[in-house]
Amino acid sequence: MHIDSIRNGLVIDHITAGKGMRIYELLGLGNLDCTVAIIKNSSSQKMGKKDIIKIDAEIDIDLDILGFVDPGITINVIKNGRLIEKKAVNLPETLTNVIKCKNPRCITSTEQELKHIFKLTDRENRVYRCLYCETKATE
């Protein structure tokens, strides 16, 4: 299979196999008016299999979303067909409006304008808790 290279844009690489569509949805890539390629289960010497997303446009993306879904991702910035920058993402300390609190008694259930804010409480187990009610986040 051959996927063309991009001139100016981003390549989100080293996505754990099967997580590419979740990232596509969370970043709202379906709303873009440019070419977006999702490559699933690509062979990788390092990972065995991986997903890749190519975006043929210069856009800002939420690194917190990427770090939450898969902290091993790398982002390659392409300009004029050349790699100019490579970024690594990390597990974010705080998530704002990425996930929603599932607790029906949480203030975010009644106060719709409040932001859904989660704090990282256990880095090793990737546990986030609601800032308001301490409910553990579920993906």
Give the domain CATH number at 49. 3.30.70.140
Residue 137, in any domain of the structure: no
Q: Are residues 41 and 79 both part of a single domain?
A: yes
CA dist 33 and 103 (Å) reads: 36
DSSP state of 31: G
The answer to whether the CB of 99 falls within 8 A of the CB of 139 is yes
pLDDT in tens, 19-42: 999 999 999 999 999 989 999 988
Average pLDDT across the chain, whole number = 91
Q: Are residues 51 and 104 both part of a single domain?
A: no
CA dist 68 and 57 (Å) reads: 23
CA distances from 59 to 16, 76, 119 (A): 22, 12, 26
pLDDT in tens, 99-137: 999 999 999 988 989 999 999 999 999 999 999 999 999
Supply the pLDDT for residue 107.
Answer: 95
Q: For residue 103, what are the domain limits?
A: 94-130
| Per-position b or e across 83-108, b if 16+ CB within 10 A of its CB | eeeeeebeebeebeebbebeeeebeb
Q: Are residues 84 and 98 both part of a single domain?
A: no
Q: Are residues 80 and 15 both part of a single domain?
A: yes
Q: Are residues 72 and 105 both part of a single domain?
A: no
For the chain, the domain total comes to 2
Residue 4 has pLDDT above 60, yes or no: yes
Under the banding of pLDDT at 50, 70 and 90, the label for residue 51 is very high
